[in-house]
């Protein structure tokens, strides 16, 4: 049987990148899938291509975060699983980050997952139903490079939130885990490399030469792991913050 047969899954930030990969993987595994995104064009194209439902939402607004959950419940009767995949990776160091940039990182990378989880967990508790949540974190939660100071702070907060919520709702049979991904090949990363690092068309190949496995993290591989964590096949695991990368935090040569 497919891993997510008869499950309703909401993917926040699902119109591109890792989120879009999760949308496709969850559909392949039998789920009914809805996803959020800010850009109507990208969302509508993915919806048309996959059959998933698109909810246009600005996740910097907690009311729209909660409203997206309400729309999915209204359309499908319930939500069983949530994936928080939206992310902002705009560069900023401790010295040059403005209050506005800091707030933007917190809004997308921490506040949006908080209120999405709040809405979904409230819904599951009201139904007395089990559920699963996966937060897409980052290995930057361990510290990160100097140019990702607000991002690292927000992702560290997300790891702590994951553990807190998992502990609080373990007796409700709601399993909540965090996947700390590393450098990943996505459309968004391509744009970031070009905007902030003067990267050329060969940046992926040049990056791969410096990585142990000879490639960047791949969306499809991450999506498969997320689907596993959403499914019953992952058993009782909850409150885990899993490092999904080819560099080992804390280790050194």
Catalytic residues, by residue number, are 151
Rg of the chain in Å (alpha carbons): 17
Q: How many residues does the chain have?
A: 253
177 with 231: CB under 8 angstroms?
no
131 with 174: CB under 8 angstroms?
yes
Evaluate the CA torsion angle 104, 106, 107, 112 in order and state its sign. positive
Evaluate the CA torsion angle 133, 59, 165, 89 in order and state its sign. positive
Residues 17 and 188: their CA atoms lie apart, in Å, by 7
Residues 244 and 180: their CA atoms lie apart, in Å, by 6
């Amino acid at each position: 049987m497919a891993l997510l047969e008869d499950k309703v899954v909401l993917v926040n930030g699902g119109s591109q990148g890792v989120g879009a990969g999760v949308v496709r993987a969850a559909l392949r595994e039998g789920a009914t899938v809805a996803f959020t995104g800010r850009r109507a064009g990208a969302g509508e194209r993915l919806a048309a291509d996959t059959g998933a439902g698109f909810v246009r939402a600005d996740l910097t607004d907690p009311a729209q975060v909660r409203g997206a959950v309400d729309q999915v419940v209204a359309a499908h009767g319930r939500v069983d699983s949530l994936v928080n995949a939206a992310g902002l990776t705009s560069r900023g160091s401790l010295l040059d980050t403005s209050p506005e940039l800091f707030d933007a990182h917190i809004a997308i990378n921490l506040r949006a997952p908080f209120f999405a989880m709040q809405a979904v967990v409230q819904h599951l508790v009201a139904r007395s139903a089990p559920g699963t949540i996966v937060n897409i974190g980052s290995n930057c939660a361990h510290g990160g490079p100097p140019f990702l100071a607000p991002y690292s702070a927000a992702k560290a907060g997300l790891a702590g939130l994951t553990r807190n919520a998992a502990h609080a709702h373990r007796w409700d049979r709601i399993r909540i885990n965090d996947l700390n991904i590393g450098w990943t090949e996505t459309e968004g990363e391509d744009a970031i490399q070009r905007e902030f690092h003067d990267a050329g068309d060969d940046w992926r190949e040049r990056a791969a030469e410096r990585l142990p496995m000879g490639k960047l993290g791949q969306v499809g591989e991450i999506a498969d792991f997320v689907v596993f964590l959403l499914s019953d096949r992952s058993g009782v695991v909850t409150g885990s913050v899993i490092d999904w990368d080819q560099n080992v935090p804390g280790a050194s040569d």
